[in-house]
Amino acid sequence: MSKTISINAGSSSLKWQLYQMPEEKVIAKGITERIGLKDSIFTIKYGDGQKFEEILDIEDHAIAVKKLLDQLIELEILGSYDEITGVGHRVVQGGKYFDKSVVIDDDVVEKIEELAAFAPLHNPAHLMGINAFRELLPGVLNVAVFDTAFFANMPKVAKYYSIPKEYREKYDVRKYGAHGTSHRYVAQRAAEVLGKPIEDLKIITCHIGNGASISAVDGGKAVDTSMGFTPLAGVTMGTRSGDIDPAVLQFLMHKLDIDIDEMLNILNKKSGLLGLSDGFSSDMRDIKARRGEEEIDTILNIFYDRIRKYVGSYVTVMNGVDAIVFTAGIGENDQYTREYVINGMSWFGCEIDPEKNLQNGVEQVISTPESKVKVLLIPTDEELMIARDVESLRS
């Protein structure tokens, strides 16, 4: 029996989940927010609906980790530090180096730091969490689980851009994707729910949240994905534009007299649902509350349209599809998105059951028995996938 903690460290946050393994039982979970700012929010949920919350100043991730471990002992969730036998860390960018989860050593730390150039908002934050746990729990197994690893071995036809070869060879410019841990989990879970070997299935996974990506999974392996060199590419998202003609950037930069950094800031933080709604909201719940207004309906149709186009293209990429999976915040909890995406693709024998589709957040097959393509709602569980990878690397 072991206790593994899954960690997702952000620049000012530390989200975690503690498991008893191999039973995969959640013992406790929580988050520390506003790290480095005044009035940090420290939260632990445990037991039978119990919750501990404290507002205090937490200066950095090292202090946040120490506070977390000590509080777990004080709440008698842990008897001592020694009960933690493994720590799994989410890392966004694994670049060309990592096509699977790995035990963290100094060399891995150096490579994650080097790859910060590809994910400047994420990798440095992940490193803060990694360094804090390695210092406080010396000798404990630490594992890096990379968002990009699931897509590392995609076919060249999918991951290479049509730009001069030297840029790929000198600067590693290619498609890396994101949300890989989620896509990997829901594809595997879909196969289990359907009672079929994943090796025999063609699955399209739709991770649709404030950030969104669509992936083609053939025989358990990713063969294409909508996000690209960065998470900016692909479908319309909460604040990200998704795919756009690059010439638009030059045109707008000249018109607005701004540089490329400001242009990318607009595409990442001021576009998507937020930009289309003229700053009203990036949250699908706010947008759909105004359903029926002509402009809002147009925004929603743009959102659905981009998803359908990727799903349709991946049917072609795999020469067929057995299952389509919806997951993440919108995919799990918005029946309208699932309904409008699937109803727009009935041409290949995909039919959704209206009654089942109303049950948000419940793992199930939501297509009709007659549907040639199965449609599933599967809540993602990236933390569990991280904990499983830690266990698989335990010597």
**E strand or H helix at 355:** helix 354-357
185 by Cβ neighbours in 10 Å (0-12 / 13-18 / 19+) ranks as: buried
Give the residue numbers annotated as catalytic, written as ranges: 147
Query: If we measure between CA atoms, which residue out of 6, 199, 169, 31 comes closest to residue 84?
Result: 6
Q: How many helices (H) and strands (E) does the chain have?
A: 15, 14
Per DSSP, the residues of 135-148 read HHSTTSEEEEEETT
pLDDT in tens, 319-361: 999 999 999 989 999 999 999 999 878 788 899 999 999 999 9
Per DSSP, the residues of 102-113 read EE--HHHHHHHH
| Cis peptide bond N-terminal to 22, omega within 30 | yes
Average pLDDT over residues 107-111: 94
Q: Structure pTM?
A: 0.90
pLDDT of 121 above 80: no
* 333-342 per-residue burial string, b: 16 or more CB within 10 A, e: under 16: bbbebbbbbb
pLDDT in tens, 78-94: 998 889 999 999 998 99
Q: What whole-number distance in Å separates Cα of residue 28 and Cα of residue 363?
A: 22
Q: Are 386 and 146 in contact (CB under 8 A)?
A: no
